[in-house]
A and B are shown apart, each in its own frame.
Chain A
C-alpha cells in the first residue's frame, strides 16, 4: 500500500487504489462494465484523474483514448476535483422564465466562482443543469441531494449557511 510521510511526521496511507481494484473486479465480468466502474471510481477519488482512467483502461483491456472518450462524453463525469457540495441550478424552460439566471448570478457573487468553478476552500462547485423535473417548484436548485424550490436570490446566503 503506498504510504508517505507528512511534514507533521504522520504516515499517510492511501488505500484508494486497492479499493479501485476491488471495484474493477466487482464489475469486470459484466458487459458494459466501464461506466459503472467510472461511476464508483469518481465517488472514491472525487474525480476521474488521468491515472484513474489509465488504471481502468489497462485493467479492462480497452484503450485509454476510449475511456477518456466516455469520461468526457457524460456530463456526470468530471476530470477535475469538485467541491464537497455540488450546487446544480436548473436552467430548464420553466426555471429560466421564473428567474433562474438571477439565481446563478447571486450564487456566482456569493461564492466568487464562475459556472463549473469550485470555491477556493473546496466547499462548493457551481453547475447548471437542464431540467431537474420539478418544474412546479421553479426556480429549482439542488445542493448535493437536497432540492430547493421557489428559491429567491436573496435567500442564497442563508441556504449556503446550512453547508458551512
Chain B
C-alpha cells in the first residue's frame, strides 16, 4: 500500500493511502471521539461527532469518511472543533430521555461517555420528541426508540453484515426512526434474534430481553430445584465484565459464582456439546452411507436455523435434526437427571447461560418440550449473568475456582471448542475420523478449519473417503454461501454454520466488543482449555457414554430421537398470497 504524509495536530504522520483521517489519527494515538462510527460496521458520517478542521477546507469535515491525502493539515482539537462537537452532542442529548440512572446501559453508554468527555455540564437545549411505546414484541431483544440516536449501526449490522434487513430507517427529518417493516414489532418480522444489533447500539435503545427477574424468583422459590448450564463461550468472555483482560479464562470462578447465587446444580453445556457430536456424527455417517441429503448443515446456532427457515427453506432437509447443545441439555435435565434425582420435570427450573440472544427464542420454540414441559425455562446472556453477579455483591475477580457438578458437568475438549467458529466441525471430525477409520487420530488439531475467514474449506482424508467440509460464520456469509449451492448438488459433505461473525464467542449476548483482537483472545481461551483437557474427543467422554448405557441406548436410538432431535419448518416471509385473497373478499363484502 502506498503511504502518504499528513500533519495532524502539528505532528507529521504517515498513513496508508485510502485510509481515513480518523484511522490515521487513532493509529498515531490521537483519539478523535466518534458515535455513529464503529469499526465492525464501518463509517457512515451521520453523527458529525468526529469532525475535524482541515486546512483550506470550507467547513469542518467528518474524519470517519474523510480520506487522507499527501500534505493534508488537520487539527483535531481546535476551539472550533471542540465547540462543534459539543453542540452536536448537546443537540443529541436535547431529545434524549434523562433516565440514565434507570437505563440498562448506565455506565457503559457511549453517549453518556461522550457528554462526559466533551465536558457537557449543563443542559443547553431541551426539546420534546413524540414518545413511542418500547417494542417488547421479541423474546430476545427489547427496543426503546426514545433512546435511539439514529446512528444507523444496527441497520448496517442487520442488513449488510447479517444479511437480514429486519430494521431500516423510516420517515425523514425530525420524524426519522429506525423501524421494522410497517412499524411492526421486531418480534413480528423476519428478525432472526441473533442480537448483533444489541452489541453495536451505542446507547440503551436495543438491549436483550431481561430474564434476570424470572431467575431470581426461581432461586427464591423453595419448591423448585434450580439448575443451570453454561455454554463454552461464556467462560471465555465473562471476565471482561469484571475488568479482566480479554482472553482471561474464568471457568472455575464462573462455576463458583453460580453456586454462590444459589443454583442447586451447575452443569456444563459442553457435556451436551459432546452429546451433540455423538448424535450429529451418527447422523452424518448414516447420511454418508445411505446416500442421504448432503451436505449436512449444523444446527447448533438458533439464529442460523431461523435464518434458514425464513430465507432458505430449500435447505431445511440438509440441516441436522439434532437439537442444539442447549436444548439437548434441557431435555436430558428434565428426563435423565430428573429421574435420577426423583424429581418431576415441572419442579425443576432449568436455566441456561448463553452468549446468545437467539437462545432465548430457541428455548420457547414449541418443539422444545421433550420432557412434557418447556425444557429450558430461562436463558440468560453472559451480560445478564454479570448483572446478577454484581447485584449479589460477589467479588468475581477474586473467587476461588470450583468444579461443575456431576453427572452433566463432564466434558471433552471437543465440547469446549464449540464456542468458536470452526469448533463444531473440528469436534465432529475428531470423532467421525476415528469411527470411520477405526484408528486413533495422530493429530487432534484440525488447524485447517480454524481461523476467522468468513468461509473456510478443507478436505480431510478418512481412509478411502475424502470428506469435504466448509465453515461459515456470519449470516451474510451464510446467505452468499448458500446462494452458490444447490440443495441436492454440492461438493461439500458437511458444513458448519454459525449466525454470529466469529461464532459464539462473539455472540449477541456477549460483553460488548466486536474487535477482531478480542475475538482472537476469546478463541485462544477455548483452544487452551481444549489442550488442557484429559479427554479431547466427544466419544471418549465417560459421562456421555454412561448416559447412553444407562438411559438412551445408542446414538440415534428411539429415545435419543425423542429427546435430542427436532424438526424445522418454513417461515412465511410473505403473507402476500393470503393477503390478496382477503383483499378481494374484503372488497366484495364492502
Residues of chain A at the chain B interface (Cβ within 8 Å): 2-7, 12, 14, 17, 49-51, 53-55, 57-58, 62-69, 72-73
Contact = CB atoms under 8 A, between A and B. Distances in A.
Given A12-B587, A14-B587, A65 B181 contact: yes
Contact of A68 (B182, B190, B576, B585): B182
Contacts of B579: 50-51, 54
B179 A65 contact: yes
A2 B165 contact: no
Contacts of A55: 574, 576
B179 A68 contact: yes
A7 B165 contact: no
A120 to B, nearest CB: 14
Contact of B575 (A51, A67, A68, A73): A51
Interface of B: 159, 164-172, 179-183, 189-190, 573-576, 579-581, 583-585, 587-589
Contact of B182 (A2, A17, A50, A62): A50
B588 A12 contact: yes
Contacts, number: 85
A3 B584 CA distance: 7
Contacts of A57: 181
B576 to A, nearest CB: 5
B181 A2 contact: no
B170 A69 contact: yes
Contacts of B189: 64-65
Contacts of B164: 63
Contacts of A58: 573-574, 576
B576 A54 contact: yes
A3 to B, nearest CB: 7
A4 B172 CA distance: 39
List of 9 A-B pairs having minimum Cβ-Cβ separation, nearest first: A63-B165, A64-B181, A65-B168, A4-B588, A51-B579, A69-B168, A65-B181, A4-B584, A2-B584
Given A17-B580, A54-B575, A58-B573, A66 B587 contact: no
B583 A51 contact: yes
26 contacts: A4-B585, A4-B588, A5-B588, A7-B588, A12-B584, A12-B587, A17-B580, A49-B583, A50-B182, A51-B583, A53-B182, A58-B576, A63-B159, A64-B190, A65-B166, A65-B167, A65-B179, A65-B180, A67-B181, A68-B181, A68-B183, A69-B168, A69-B169, A69-B170, A72-B172, A73-B172
B588 A68 contact: no
Nearest to A73: B172
